[in-house]
Structure 1
Amino acid sequence: MDVTEDTVRGVCTDAVFERGERYLAEGRVCEIHRVDTTVTAVVSGSRQYDVRVDLAADEFAPRCDCPYNGPGTCKHVIAVLLQCVDDRPPDEGARLDAALNGTDIDELRAFLREELVTDADLRDRFLARVGASTRRSVDELRTSIDRRFEERNPEYDVVFEPSDFTQWFNLANEYREQGQYASAATVYRALVESLDDNMERVDGAYDHFSSAFSRALDGYVDCVAATDRDADAVTNAVEYLDERATSGTPFLAEHFERAAVELRGKAGEQSCE
């Protein structure tokens, strides 16, 4: 996707575009880097916000951990995109490739292992990439997801700002790309349960949490349906969705009911093939 002022305007409202222009003019974009078409940056607002965009993706696939939940993307993303229009950061991809190509394989393996030992998120994604199924249960995954709610507002039960669930969505997507649908379904189910059980605490950025819930629920249904035509897995998942419809957050009940109907339909389509 071409990065021009017009294409940037197309992913936000006029008001947000103006705020993004002001942020850029005020020098709030810092620590900006580019590898291939992926740009990461830190934007200074009421606090420091992490921004990532893909200059080649449809609508730039923006990600920011700010609380914005309006139409289009936020002013932090717009400020970064506008900097890329005027002064795109140099591509560090070639330098990275040269360093990788010039590194001894044993040294690289040792470095990677050191990082995998201390970074659980990276370790999970690495194991998923090489085709290993998850050994973590829904409850184990939920523990770390639930912690994200607590980290945002440790002194209050109410959640005012959005939480970043990217690492779990990335992990689920990695499993899907490797055909590990049961493992992906486990991650999605952990997200669904955590979001369902914490939704009534949300008092701000509701659209953000609702969107994450819908994305996780859709992913769960798709992955269960793709689990090697496992009839028992589908039956258990439908029972789970039906149970959640009655025991979970009341205003999410219709989403669980619709997901159960959709999964039954997908199972029926598969049985006829």
Structure 2
Amino acid sequence: MDVTEGTVRKICTDAVFERGERYLAEDRILDIHRVDTTVTAVVNGNRQYDARVDLAADGFDPWCDCPYDGPGACKHVVSVLLRCVDDCLPDEGDRLDAALEAADADDLRDFLREALATDVALRERFFARFGESPTRSVHELRDAIDRQFEETNPDYFVVFEPIDFSEWFDLAGEYRDQGRYASAAAVYRALIESLDGNMERVDGTYDHFSQAFKRALDGYVDCVTAEDIDVDEAADAVAFLRDRAVSGTPLLSEHFERAATKLEETLTERREH
């Protein structure tokens, strides 16, 4: 997708666009890098925020860990995109490829193993990519996601700022790319359960968490539908959604009910054909 002022305006409000322009003019972008089509940056606002865009994606697939919960992209993302309008930044992908080509295989293996030993999220994606079975159950995955809620604001029950769930969506995406839909569904289910269970804690950034919930719910339904499951497994998946519609957060009950109906109809149609 071409990065122009016009395409940037399409993903944000006029007010946010103006603030993004001001942030760019005030040199608030502290650190910015591009690898292939992905641009990551640190933008100075009330504190330093991490922002990320994909220049090739429709709508640029914006992400930022700021508390903005209004329509469209935030001013931090807009400032980063506007930075790319006239100067799309040097692509560090070639440098990365060259370093990989030049690296000794044993040294590279040692480096990778050390990174995998200390980074749980990276290790999970590695297992997903290279055919290992999931190392954590739905319950364990949910516990890890729940800890993010606890650690975000440890002194208060209420969560005031967005939480970055990208490692979980990336992990689910890795499983989906490998055609391992049951494993991806487990990650989505853990996200659904955690978000549903913690939604009452959210204050001021509801849209952020609501969008993450809907994305996880859609992913769960898609993966259960794509997986070759028997009648009992299908019934369990539908029952999970219907149970949540009754016992979960009231604001999310309609989403659960619609997802259960869609899943049931899709699975029934598939069996009939």
Question: Shorter-normalised TM-score: what interval?
Answer: over 0.9
SS state at 1:53 partner: strand
Counterpart residue type for residue 107 of structure 2: E
SS in 2 for 1:255: helix
- Secondary structure, in 3 states, of the residue corresponding to 1:41? strand
Corresponding residue number in structure 1 for 2:171 = 171
8 A contact 2:184–2:223 mirrored in 1: yes
Structure 1 residue 6 displacement after superposition: 1.5
The 2-side partners of 1:57 and 1:257 are apart by 31
Quote the residue 1:87 is aligned against.
87
Taking only aligned residues, the RMSD between alpha carbons, in angstroms, comes to 1.2
User: For residues 96 and 135 of structure 1, what CA distance do their matches in structure 2 show?
Assistant: 29
Deviation, 1:25, is 0.9
Indicate yes or no: 2:197 matched with 1:206: no
1:227-242 alignment, distance < 5 Å: 227-242=227-242
Larger CA deviation: 71-80 vs 223-232 = 223-232
| Structure 1 residue matching 2:164: 3-state secondary structure | coil
- Secondary structure, in 3 states, of the residue corresponding to 1:30? strand
Q: Deviations over 1:79-103 (max 9, x none)?
A: 1111111333211111111110111
Partner of 1:99: 99
Q: Could you say which residue in structure 2 is the equivalent of 1:110?
A: 110
Q: Give distance in 2, aligned partners of 1:200 and 1:103.
A: 49
2:258 corresponds to which residue? 258
Partner residue in 1 for 2:138: 138
Do the aligned residues in 2 keep the contact of 1:134 with 1:183 (CA within 8 Å)? Answer: yes
Paired-residue identity, %:
70
**Structure 1 counterpart of 2:216:** 216
1:182 aligns with 2:192: no
Gaps of 5+ in 1: none
Determine the structure 1 residue equivalent to 2:10.
Answer: 10
Is 200-209 or 119-128 further displaced after alignment? 200-209
CA contact (8 A) 2:32 2:42 kept: yes
Runs of 4+ residues over 4 Å off in structure 1: none
TM-score, normalised via structure 2 length:
0.97
| Structure 2 counterpart SS, 1:209 | helix
Q: Work out whether residues 225 and 263 of structure 2, in 8 Å CA contact, stay in contact via their aligned partners in 1.
A: yes
Q: Say yes or no: does 1:43 pair with 2:39.
A: no
| Contact 1:133 1:180 survives alignment (8 Å) | no
Structure 2: tracts of 5 or more residues without a match: none
Amino acid at match of 2:186: T
User: Which residue is equivalent to 1:272?
Assistant: 272
Per the alignment, in what secondary structure is the counterpart of residue 159 of structure 1?
coil
Question: Where do 1:122-161 residues align within 5 Å?
Answer: 122-161=122-161
CA distance in 2, matches of 1:141, 1:249: 20
Contact 1:128–1:171 (CA<8 Å) still a contact in 2?
yes
Q: Structure 2 CA distance, aligned partners of 1:223 and 1:187?
A: 10
Secondary structure of 1:132's partner? Answer: coil
Asked whether the equivalents of residues 124 and 135 of structure 2 are also in contact (C-alpha less than 8 Å), the reply is: no
Secondary structure, in 3 states, of the residue corresponding to 2:34?
A: strand
1:132, CA displacement in angstroms? 2.2
One-letter amino acid of the structure 1 residue matched with residue 141 of structure 2:
L
- What is the distance in 2 between the residues matched to 1:187 and 1:45? 32
